[in-house]
Amino acid sequence: MTWLTNSSIGRKVVMSVTGAALVLFLLFHGAMNLVAIISEEGYNMICEFLGANWYAIVATMGLAFLMVVHIFYAFILSIQNYRARGRERYAVSERQADVEWSSKNMLVLGLIIMGFLGLHLYNFWYKMQWVELQVNLGLLPHEAGADAANGIKYIKDLFAQPIYAGLYLVWLGALWFHLTHGVWSALHSLGLNNETWMPRVKMISNIVSTLVVLMFAAVVVYYFGYALGATYAL
Ligand code: HEM
């Protein structure tokens, strides 16, 4: 198993597999969020189900582990790419342009996404699962958890603010660029790199990334519009 950490291919496999698992999470999370547009009660039922229950906490820890590994390897791969360039660092070639893209832009985009994720976890997770967990452990009084599963309230409050609606859309833009290249790169590293598959892989990565981003953006735009409508109706 040391090839997973010691070889360049092994490290790319780790990036690809953790990245693919994170994309599956995003598809699940985005689809779950769409329920917020269809039914407010339905959305809060899902939030209740995914609160501070043992299975939701295990899933959260699994997700955190995947992210830590993905980011750790991102740094290792970037350092490795930087070193590999050696004296050729300033020479320009097509091959190098490709390496530049994956190592530099992907890392920067990933860091931007992580920054926004911190804000997002503060906006939702910190007020929901984290509060419920503390109530369950007796660290907070029962009443403190009254809104811990009221996801729709937090969505409405947040996206009524233009600054947050805007910030989330910027975040989703960065996510789109990261995913289009990331999904492509993962499938490529996992072997779909022959001439027949290259254009298909490009197409698949564009479709998956666009689907993920549109699912999230729909909720932002819908609830921003909802707040605007409510303001003008007054
Ligand atoms: C419109 C956009 C989004 C909405 C409305 C939304 C909503 C939520 C809500 C309500 C929770 C809290 C669930 C709970 O603690 O019970 C949550 C957690 C989370 N969200 Fe989002 N989310 C959005 C976009 C995103 C995006 C784009 C990402 C990643 C790039 C993301 C990653 C996460 C993560 C990692 C958690 C913690 C999950 C866990 O505790 O297991 N979310 N989100």
- Which residue among 43, 109, 116, 120 has the greatest number of ligand 1 atoms within 8 angstroms of its CB, and so is best to mutate? 120
Mean pLDDT (the chain) is: 90
Dump pLDDT digits (tens) for 41-94.
Answer: 999 999 999 988 999 999 999 999 999 999 999 999 888 877 877 655 555 555
Domains of the chain in start order, with CATH, are: 3-233 (1.20.1300)
Dump pLDDT digits (tens) for 175-234.
Answer: 999 999 999 999 988 888 888 888 999 999 999 999 999 999 999 999 999 999 887 875
Whether the pLDDT of residue 24 is over 60: the answer is yes
| Residue 123 alpha carbon to ligand 1 centre in Å | 9
User: Which residue's alpha carbon is nearest to atom 31 within ligand 1?
Assistant: 117
3-class secondary structure per residue, the chain: CCHHHHCHHHHHHHHHHHHHHHHHHHHHHHHHHHHHHHCHHHHHHHHHHCCCCHHHHHHHHHHHHHHHHHHHHHHHHHHHHHHHHHHHHHCCCHHHHHHHHHHHHHHHHHHHHHHHHHHHHHHCHHHCHHHHHHHHCCCCCHHHHCCCCCHHHHHHHHHCCHHHHHHHHHHHHHHHHHHHHHHHHHHHHCCCCCCCHHHHHHHHHHHHHHHHHHHHHHHHHHHHHHHHHHHHHC
User: Which residue's alpha carbon is nearest to atom 12 within ligand 1?
Assistant: 125
User: Which residue's alpha carbon is nearest to atom 43 within ligand 1?
Assistant: 124
Counting residues of the chain whose pLDDT is more than 90, the rounded percentage is 71
pTM (2 d.p.): 0.91
